[in-house]
Chains A and B, each alone.
Chain A
């Protein structure tokens, strides 16, 4: 792509109104060419468009949920109790292979996997502890490089799922979270990963009766029951 082509596309680029391939081409050109100072001005104008949307009072409770989630994340970051449990659980997980369970069907296999987890880690539940109504649990990788945590705010009846190292998905895929209650997996939400492979999502579901949680990759829109192996899981 040459400078003239970039200039022609500058408005669309500043508005992110280009398909991904053209977006990347313009970005690559601009990164190595000093002749497109105008782009910054156009991007500022595009960003200012946010203020042309009328302000609307958000739903009540949203502020509390956000602040609560942030406090919980902060608490999780500073919690020193997680390290030994993490190691212990990784050891437990390393003995499992999801494909071995595939003949049972993924939903059944999820139940088996997570029930086993619950039995194995039940003794550590007490030490996960209740820290001012907040429970922090590590989400352990069952395959791949992802890692994460689930932070349950018991007082507010919500949980925050956060993860890193997530692989990029195609357009027709989504990450889906599951809770296992009395042997039944229930989809509790979908989320997308950021471009850096991180994600965070708030789950407004009461997990007090759930036994385990997991994350799988599902077709866009989510599935009724898990159709793939979990990439992350924990007991609750």
Chain B
């Protein structure tokens, strides 16, 4: 892949096909990557980094706006994925979605800690399992398509979504910081995600 090109993650929808070529990691087969990680293949974490390192760092930096803090989060996230890889069920979730989910949540926790806000991670234990099917992103969608889909949201919904996702604010904190009634915040967050899902479903391949 030429430098500067966005990394495009392709997830095989047909399932894992290792065909005896264990650990031979090629672009375009995230299932092989998951399997190689599960098997403790030493090159697998490097391959995962080559695919998602830029996105993971970009995400952490977007949230934390601090290079060193972002680097710390990304390092820890890759190590966490490595340590959890043995428990991943390839049929249920993809390692790439796990990685970005961990980067996001740890970035938010670090951001909230920096601001002296209560951590949110404690309450998500039940929802944060390595093979949580709900965490599975349709990674076959190109990044550009996700970005375009977000741009179709009404501005007030996009604002609420950004405050929740990138600023790590709770619905109450969004309401307090914007002056928008809590009920409106709740419905904007829900409507934003519903519309996003609808937009993304339309372009799913």
Contact = CB atoms under 8 A, between A and B. Distances in A.
A56 B120 contact: no
A87 to B, nearest CB: 24
Contacts of A40: 133-134
A102 interface: no
A27 B135 CA distance: 14
A67 B80 CA distance: 13
Interface residues of A, number: 65
Nearest to A42: B193
Contacts of A145: none
B83 A198 contact: yes
Interface string A39-70: 11111111111111111111100110111011
Contacts of A15: 161, 164-165, 189, 193
A17 interface: yes
Contacts of A19: 118, 120, 123, 170, 172
A126 interface: no
Interface string B35-57: 00000101001100110011111
Contact of B194 (A42, A71, A73): A42
A55 B54 contact: yes
B18 interface: no
B103 interface: yes
Interface string A1-33: 000000111111011111111111001100100
Contacts of A31: 126
Contacts of A16: 105, 108, 120, 124, 127
A182 interface: no
Nearest to B54: A55
B58 A54 contact: yes
A67 B45 contact: yes
Nearest to A65: B75
Contacts of B196: 45, 48
A143 interface: no
A112 interface: no
Contacts of A57: 54, 57
Contacts, number: 222
Given A10-B190, A70-B82, A52 B146 contact: yes
Contact of B49 (A24, A63, A194): A63
Interface string B117-153: 0111111111110000111111001010011011000
Contacts of A54: 58, 62
A11 B192 contact: yes
Contacts of A45: 193-194, 196-197, 200
10 contacts: A8-B186, A8-B187, A8-B190, A10-B190, A11-B187, A16-B108, A42-B197, A44-B197, A53-B166, A67-B45
Given A14-B189, A17-B174, 13 more contacts: A9-B171, A10-B190, A11-B189, A12-B170, A12-B185, A18-B123, A19-B172, A46-B193, A47-B100, A56-B61, A62-B57, A168-B122, A201-B76
Which 8 pairs between the two chains have the least Cβ-Cβ distance?
A20-B123, A23-B123, A11-B190, A11-B189, A17-B164, A53-B62, A55-B54, A58-B57
Interface of A: 7-12, 14-24, 27-28, 31, 38-59, 62-63, 65-67, 69-71, 73-74, 160, 162, 168, 171, 191-192, 194-195, 198, 200-202, 220
